Structure 1
Amino acid sequence: MRFLLSSLLLFLSITVGASPGAPKPPKDFVTPKGASFQLNGKPFAFVGANSYARWLPLLQRQDDIEATFKEMQGAGIKVLRTWGFNAINGSELADAKKSGLTYYQVWNSTEWVLNDGAQGLQRLDNIIETAGKYGIKVILAFTNNWVGYGGSELYINWIAGAGKTHDVFYSDPRIVASYRMSLTYLMHHSYIALERYVKTIVNRYKNSANVFAWELMNEARCLGDLPSSSACPRTGLLHDWYKQQAAFVRKLDPNHLITTGGEGHFFWKKSIGYWLNGQFISDYNFNGDAGEDFDGDLALDNIDFGTYHLYPQFWYGNLDTPDRTNFSIKSWGLDWIKAHADAAKKANKPVILEEFGVFGLQNKTEIYPEWVNIALDTKHGWIMPWQFGKLGLKEDGGNRLIKYADALIDGASPNDGFTYYKNQTAVWNVFTNAAKVQAARSK
């Protein structure tokens, strides 16, 4: 009963972030100030890095982890984005234990079991602690839109069951209650729910200055590896989910920043599209089909900054041929960056170019300088390329199959085609030089 009463009080209380009378955040916590970030009263501009769950939180040797963070520090990287999730099915458990695979959740039924042991959340503890040792802050995503490493579709498959569409993740109260402890669901059903995943992660790290921000989901869309229903696109379902979950996280932790983790899809009324083989095709990135509304989502009270991703070569593969169109990977990316910079200026909130990539070393060498320069010039330029790569890893002699096709090969961290390494000097220098610019802006 005491728990229910305290939960009701928590549910009725409203915390909407910093206000003129609100207490100052703890020392070394990053805060927003208009369209910029601040750290201890000074501007905080940065170049960051992505280290997908494919390798850094899955490494077993501390010397490899330390060497990776040391190289990041030397490159001027100030923020690391990684996954705050790693889930497996119970049928995978024996092999995971045998191979040393990191996992935080095990699903055997509609209830998952937390692994906070040495092969579980203690490894995430170590990543966050080691990051702080090298002056690097961490963005943690709570789950994944995609199936890899135990994303949202594990919740769908185990709780909603087979045959459901991807967007039930945002609407099924049982899934919401498992993603986080839903107070409305708890009170309507008159029983005490187990603590759920988001609450577990936030409470574990909410006092850590090494955490930069919480991220609700990596690349939330109406569809995932499962299709979408017609009830999701252009209906505000995802917007409402962002609003509800951000408010829940804010109640748990009033001090850390919160963001969506979205790709930055727009929902513009004007027709945006392209011609392909004589046919006009409405553009998924602008027409609301993805379920996001970047302008509206950024305006939410408890969303402190926006995120967007940039993969035109991947998104528009059918256009990347000179005989069909005058489409340019480079120019499309420049326009995408400008559009998000304009939206951030209108909202008076920071925005991060959180993921971007192109295939091919020559493409990286030619395109990245222009994308990075315009991000810097628009003054929103908090830049996080996908993804940071490390050479010289020693684990298992430098060769280890991690999961799926992800592997250490000859000491190199996994290369998904977008990875960049220190020996790719021209690309490496794009980001180290940008880091120097950002460091100068942070004084």
Structure 2
Amino acid sequence: MKKAGKIWIIGILICLEIILLPWQVYGEEVQEPDSLYALSAVLMDGDSGRVLFEKNGEEQRPMASTTKVMTCILVLESGRTGETAQTSAYAASMPEVHMGAREGESYGVRDLLYALMLESYNDAAVILAEHIGGSTEGFADMMNEKAREIGCEDTWFITPNGLDAQAETEEGVKIHSTTAEDLARILRYCIRESSAREEFLEITRTPSYTFTDSSGNKTISCTNHNAFLSMMEGALTGKTGFTADAGYCYVGALEREGRTLIVALLGCGWPNNKNYKWSDTRKLMEYGLENYTWQSFAQAELPLIPQYLPVENGQTEILGVPAQVAVSLEELSQEEGMLIRKDEKLEAVVEIEQSLQAPVKEGEKAGEILYQVNGQTWKTREIHTAASLEKIDFPWCLEETLKRLVFAP
């Protein structure tokens, strides 16, 4: 009897464990990163653009040479990397870090991009900006236009190299600045959306590069100073920066097991703390890898969607039968998805019309499916009508009446 009682108790405990297991996993507490050195920090999903973690992520701050990420992508997208650019007096006057270009010297545009991204040379940035934009002011306009285009509302570029600067605008005095969120968004554009993304990755991942000026008399050797590239498995790209106002800054990306993570750091210490940025970058990347997995939107469980929708005042083949039209779903690729934290759930919410008003055209939007995490929508999928249906009108009524008269017994 005692043995039987123990078996019953064990059985009940096993059943409870099975029932509660999903809740235990779903409700598992996730510890967010703390004690970061950076004044502003963001961890972003490189695929969806979703901010996975932020610390003062929308606070505007100077960004130093991480500016050169935007300079590089604009030059690549210009399609003029095969050209030669000449050094102006202004470019030659740039402070360190510089490659020592002298007024009148010419360099290949593509060569200068390696000098820009590997060694972070300030004169290389100005030579490129003047060549592509006509002037540093013209190039800054291009930078700000691109920033608005990709959704960076709190970024303002003045220089192509990230040196601390301020300028008078119609809105008042602005400083050369961005936010950690905008900076992450800029790098995401460079590696995911830009037509020049492959070239960008090729340049920024190169360990070393050597070139000469157009005359062949001057040789420049560049070494990549992005220590993150050898710090973590899957490290993809990145750019460091430092000025007196900005402090140490960094933006970098990692790709591992179908996940792309982007870290942006602003104000991450001042001398002698140049390694703080690597500590923060590792901490944020590890947090993302440990707590987030990629999930396709197609994996979300769909609520019941009606196959047909009633159509008010719509023509029917049989008198007295309510008019209706079939609906179809917009195609959804298995490749579309986002990073989901282990205590979160991707949900599909259907918003669809209760009825339609005739006339109805094939392909007309009848509703949509919202793919949400914590109530925030990250993907919408439209529901369309699969056929057309005309409105009841006098000619149709006359035709139906005549049919009934002709076929009446």
Fold shared per TM-score above 0.5? no
Structure with the largest fraction of strand: 2
Point out the structure with max Rg over C-alpha: 2
TM (normalized to structure 1)?
0.29
